[in-house]
Amino acid sequence: MPRVAYTLHLVGEANSKCAGVIQAMADVPVLAPAEELTPWGKSRKLIVLTVVAALVLMGGGVGAWFVFGPHGAKRPAAPKHEPLAPPQYVALDPPFVVNFENDQQVRFLQVTAQLMSRDLPTVELLKANDPVVRNDLLLLFGGQKYSVISTREGKEQLRTQTLEAVRRVVAQAGGRPERVEAVYFTSFVMQ
């Protein structure tokens, strides 16, 4: 390659000393590229490549978790509950009428109740044992105190005791007492 010479013109004092000096292009100092001037330029590329590789690996890990993770795996099946049968109600007719004393006064209680079960054999058992159920409930209602059953809490307590009494009758008759689910007072009159 041929060498080309250029005239260098400097401004000021330096110009007078170097005027007319011809220098070859190879003799002119050339600035090095910025990458060569920074001592850690190659390590910066290495850091960027490492960060990019780490992000790619993390992205792959997250994608694998979504595909194969716990929500992608089969979970143990929840225990299957058989659908509930419609409730069957057994009305205890006629209403219960009992008297009890309150401060030397005779008071009356009239209660209409219904029993609830979803089990047809239990419903039939309750109907077949209606006299026993009515007897036990008459004794239960007659032993109440006016001051207790005149409150809401007292009525709820009486309803719980009624359910327990009915379940005892079902158990004595050879049935499944837990199948009697509830007792409802559809009328509750005190005088």
Kindly report the CATH number assigned to the domain that includes residue 98: 3.30.479.30
| Average pLDDT per block of 10 residues along the chain, 191 residues long | 48 49 56 53 79 86 76 62 88 92 82 96 95 95 89 95 96 94 94 85
Q: Are 94 and 172 within one domain?
A: yes
Q: Are 20 and 95 within one domain?
A: no
Q: Are 104 and 25 within one domain?
A: no
- pLDDT score recorded for residue 47: 84
Q: What pTM value is reported for the model?
A: 0.57
Q: Are 25 and 92 within one domain?
A: no
Which residues constitute the domain of residue 141?
88-190
Answer whether residue 127 is part of any domain: yes
Answer whether residue 97 is part of any domain: yes
- pLDDT score recorded for residue 139: 94
Q: Are 93 and 185 within one domain?
A: yes
Answer whether residue 60 is part of any domain: no
- Alpha helix ranges (H) inside 88-184: 120-128, 130-142, 146-149, 152-172
| Total domain count, the chain | 2
- pLDDT score recorded for residue 103: 73
CB 162 within 8 A of CB 188: no
- Cβ partners under 8 Å of residue 129, min gap 6: 169, 170, 173
The SS3 of residue 68 is: helix
Q: Are 177 and 101 within one domain?
A: yes
* Long-range interactions of 16-24: CB distance < 8 A, separation 24+: none
Answer whether residue 98 is part of any domain: yes
| Cα 18 from chain centre | 88
Answer whether residue 167 is part of any domain: yes
